[in-house]
Amino acid sequence: MNLCQLLARSLGLESEEVMLLRHGTGRLKALRESGATVQEFTAIQVVNSKYDFLRDGAVPIRAVAVIADDQLEAVYRVGAVEREGTTWSVASPAYQKFDRGQGFTEKPAKRFSLVSVPLPEVGRPVHGWTSPRVAVARYGGRLCESIEVG
């Protein structure tokens, strides 16, 4: 079943309000080794980046599905912005360690409130993510339309 449509229907949202976010295996390994969490990694977004749930000119994202290691790692409802500042000022020490270790620079960022949604599809394999370089799929794009959960 198409993951975007499934999430929209399950959460009572429009498909445009759902984002699929794929975290790379190498980054997740470094993230976990630093002691930071996937939830925090997902919650901190650079302002107006393609990841920003409230990016200017785009439909606000109300739910995000995190894909890791070709499976549905988690689904979160996106709440309000908890804090604004920089990628380091809104982050835990463990996340700061991870971010610096990846060679990222400090940038303007928002930290969103995320609430985990325990759907039965969490943990199941995800198919159709054909491009390893594309980390975000939004409704209306070919990639979003091709992603299935098994």
Higher pLDDT, 137 or 109: 109
List beta partners, residue 136: 21
Which range of residues forms the domain containing residue 17? 3-149
What is the Cα–Cα distance from 49 to 56, expressed in whole angstroms? 9
pLDDT of residue 132: 64
Place of tokens 């996340």: 95
**Mean pLDDT throughout 120-148?**
81
What pLDDT is attached to residue 23?
A: 87
pLDDT band of 133, cuts 50, 70, 90 = low
| Residue 64 in this model has a pLDDT that exceeds 90 | yes
Q: Please give the model's pTM, rounded to 2 decimal places.
A: 0.91
Q: Which of 117, 25, 132 is nearest to 68 (CA)?
A: 25
Q: What is the pLDDT of residue 129?
A: 81
Q: How confident is the model at residue 27 (pLDDT cuts 50, 70, 90)?
A: confident
Per-residue model confidence (pLDDT) at position 34 = 94
The whole-number average pLDDT for the span 125-132 is 81
Q: What sign results for the dihedral spanned by CA atoms 132, 57, 19, 49?
A: positive
State how many domains the chain has: 1
The overall average pLDDT reported for the chain is: 91
